[in-house]
Structure 1
């Protein structure tokens, strides 16, 4: 798989997904955007959430719902055809290499880092801020998979130069307590 081509496809899909969500739900005050995958490296999907959604969340769970993309209102929404095409390519590549365990670990790591690089590029270009007029929370995550705490912290720091970074890192400090 040519990850340079895949990276451009993910970037285009991410841009289009966010633009679509902003067009449809911008009035709800979108504050977040994520790309996420799965442990089997078969998918890349977008997720976004709004401040309006958070208004009805129980205070005890508010931070979790604010920062967990699997709980966001617009999970797997935006640029559907583009993301479906990406997922099809990933599954086909996995099928071609299903008997190569060492290959899979490198493939998975490269896919994950590619998604993070796309989000970082969009952040550095002020893509989200130019659309919304403000910073938004960015994250890459993997369903049914836990990053090492240090790796997740690095992702948050890399993708967020805003108030969300501090709040997320403070929340991380409460984990396991």
Structure 2
């Protein structure tokens, strides 16, 4: 299956998408605003070559409408390229977090999160300026450990490429043989690995600054995925979470 993805941009922020996938004699297309499923259509042709020719023609037409082709390759309905998904999530999260930092220059961002829903249909992010502080300083630490309560979520458009990748597994008009359990586990591992890679680059700071940072990967904003707290955070942060869990028991 051949895959092409296009975006229209406003000051380098993607606003609208066009997506094409050709498989056999079929040409599948979707278009709409970023962060949405968009409108879809499937056109059947007399032969695979005719569908391939139509794909090339549609590529040219979409680019003529002011869209920029950002990805082109193949899509295997029997597997999802999780290393590529990890890279797309990493770069999308980088730009999303940078957009929030730029939008709130007077705030020190200490809490960063990536996650999804129980159906593995979304990729969401959030940040907060809350400070972990000393034990007992906060009346309710749930604000720290549940990113659904965090205030800043700008920049979700930058995660749209990764969103398109997982969305293909949920569309009824596209062939996909990836088992849900494989998709679910692979998506969250990709989110955790993306955060680990950013952390190794120093994106979240170093030294005393890094000690104040909390990184989360959660399902529906509350469930710690695959031991992500321990993998992504300093021992101090892990001890604080364990303390909070005991207080809640």
* TM-score tier (shorter): 0.7 to 0.9
Q: How many pairs are equivalent? A: 162
Contact 1:138 1:156 in 2 (8 A): yes
Q: Name whichever structure is richer in strand by fraction.
A: 2
- The farther-off stretch of 40-49 and 24-33 is 24-33
- How does the TM-score come out when normalised to structure 2? 0.58
Cα deviation, residue 11, structure 1: 0.5
Structure 2 counterpart of 1:163: 236
* Residue 120 (structure 1) shift: 1.3
Instruction: Write the distance in 1 (CA, Å) between the matches of 2:143 and 2:214.
Output: 13
Kindly indicate whether structure 1 or structure 2 has the higher relative contact order, using CA contacts under 8 Å at least 6 residues apart.
1
C-alpha distance in 1, partners of 2:94/2:220? 22
* TM-score when normalising by structure 1: 0.79
Output the aligned Cα RMSD. Answer: 2.7
Q: 2:217–2:224: 8 Å Cα contact kept in structure 1? A: no
Show the counterpart of 1:143.
220
Spell out, residue by residue over 1:49-96, the C-alpha distance to the aligned partner (whole angstroms, 9 max, x if none): 0138x9xxxx532x001221100001x322x32223322331222224
Q: Tell whether the 8 Å contact from 1:39 to 1:145 is kept in structure 2 after alignment.
A: no
Select which of 115, 136, 147 maps to 1:69: 147
Q: Structure 1 stretches (4+) deviating beyond 6 angstroms?
A: none
**Shift of residue 156, structure 1, vs aligned partner:** 0.9
The 8 Å contact of residues 44 and 83 in structure 1, kept in 2 or not, is answered as yes
Classify the secondary structure of the residue corresponding to 1:35: strand
Matches within 5 A, 1:40-59: 40-51=119-130, 59=138
- Write the distance in 1 (CA, Å) between the matches of 2:222 and 2:239: 23
2:202 to 107, 126, 136: 126
Structure 2 gap ranges (5+)? 1-79
Max Rg structure: 2
Aligned to 2:57: none
